[in-house]
Amino acid sequence: MKHFQRELDKIKKMILSLGALVEKRVHQIKQVLEDRDVAMANEIIHLDHEIDQMEVDVEEECLKIIALHQPVATDLRFLIAVIKINNDLERIGDQVVNIAQRVVSISKHPVVPYRFDYSVMADKAEAMLRMSLDSLVNQDLDDAIRVLHLDDEVDAIKNEAYDRIKTAIANGVTEDIGYMINLLLISRHIERLADHATNIAEEVVYMIEGEIVRHGRLD
């Protein structure tokens, strides 16, 4: 029993380490967006393998524990939730890389004819990730539920970005449609990042309450 508990504790440390690294990357990509920092963007792209490897390690460890110990009830729920959270953290890392690639692409335009301020949207997405990870660490149901409610705010900003960029194209602000599409995709990547943070919060609710709250099933 002590050996099993040690392995569960190891899993907790691994998923929190991955969460900390992903949170660091999200903070870095905010700086990249603000400064159009191509060097940092390229570094984020280059280091993506670190998150990928940690995600594989966590999943393998969880599957090994399930196979060897056949946990039930709360412990099984914890491991299932960790496997899903692990996947969402890796996908957040992918969204960060996607944003970095878009920044590298738009940086090739020496004269920027149009810009969209992503700071509020990125701040909200980062806060959602931080809150979802805090809810995981502290097993805090209130924090997890707050994340679920914040998701609508990020969606609204993404829709605003779509409308403004569409209007700019229609008004002939720029002839470079590729550049404008990259701006639009950045908002989409941030919105997806927030979606994955929401997924993490949903899994924390499941971990604590045993209730599945996906697809608008939160009461």
Domain ranges of the chain: 2-209
pLDDT at residue number 169: 81
Domain 2-209 has CATH 1.20.58.220: yes
CA-to-CA distance for 199 and 32, rounded, in angstroms? 25
Give 177 or 191, the one with higher predicted confidence: 191
CA-to-CA distance for 118 and 50, rounded, in angstroms? 26
Mean pLDDT for the stretch of residues 28-39: 94
Above 90 in pLDDT, residue 3?
no
Is the pTM higher than 0.85? The answer reads: yes
- Phi-psi group of 111: left, alpha or beta (phi > 0 → left; psi -120 to 50 → alpha; rest → beta): beta
Residue type, 73: A
Burial class from Cβ neighbours inside 10 Å (0-12, 13-18, 19+) for residue 70 reads: exposed
Tens of pLDDT, residue by residue over 134-179, are: 999 999 999 999 999 899 999 999 999 999 888 888 887 666 788 8
pLDDT at residue number 219: 54
Q: What would the two tokens of residue 198 be?
A: 């929401």
Tens of pLDDT, residue by residue over 104-137, are: 998 887 666 677 889 999 999 999 999 999 999 9
pLDDT at residue number 217: 53
